Amino acid sequence: MFPERLRALRRGQHITLEQLADALNQQNTVGDDHTNTASQIGNWERGVRTPSFVEVRKLAEYFDVTMDYLAGKTERDAYDLGRLFLSGKQLSFNRDVLSGQDRYEIYQLIDGYLHGKEHRGTDTQPNQQEELDLHLDDH
């Protein structure tokens, strides 16, 4: 389970083995003077080698998941987006850090969408897509 989850997390963030190794090497972990390499991480993803506790902890911190999630024991924690957007934590989207203004505007968009959803008509069948006419032929 660990190799699959590590590979999925890395590929999901569109980073190479080399980029992940560099990021792990930049983490300040007390008592760890070991340098990570791309081939080492590739071995972890293929299940050829098993990382140490310290390495799993570094991976969990980097990907913001629990060690249990990486080990396959639990699923990813549930997140309340409202609380997350209003928290002091640094947030990013596709590796771009969101500014305070970005966070506020995205929060407002989600909040507006959810409140609007409550007031939308229920005349369409579930799983039925509505057609959006953009009048592209009217030029």
Domain 2-71 part of CATH 1.10.260.40? yes
Q: What is the pLDDT of residues 22-60, one digit of tens each?
A: 999 988 665 556 789 999 999 999 999 999 989 999 999
Report the amino acid identity of residue 79.
Y
Nearest 5°: the CA angle 64, 78, 99 is: 55
Q: What residues does each domain of the chain span?
A: 2-71, 81-118
**pLDDT at position 71:** 86
- In the block, which residue shows the tokens 């970005």? 102
User: How many other CB atoms are there within 10 angstroms of residue 5's CB atom?
Assistant: 18
pLDDT tens, residue order, the chain (139 aa):
899 999 999 998 899 999 999 999 988 665 556 789 999 999 999 999 999 989 999 999 998 888 888 888 766 556 677 777 777 778 888 888 889 888 889 889 998 888 888 777 655 555 555 555 555 555 4
Q: Does pTM top 0.85 for this prediction?
A: no
- Rounded Cα distance, 102 and 96, in Å: 11
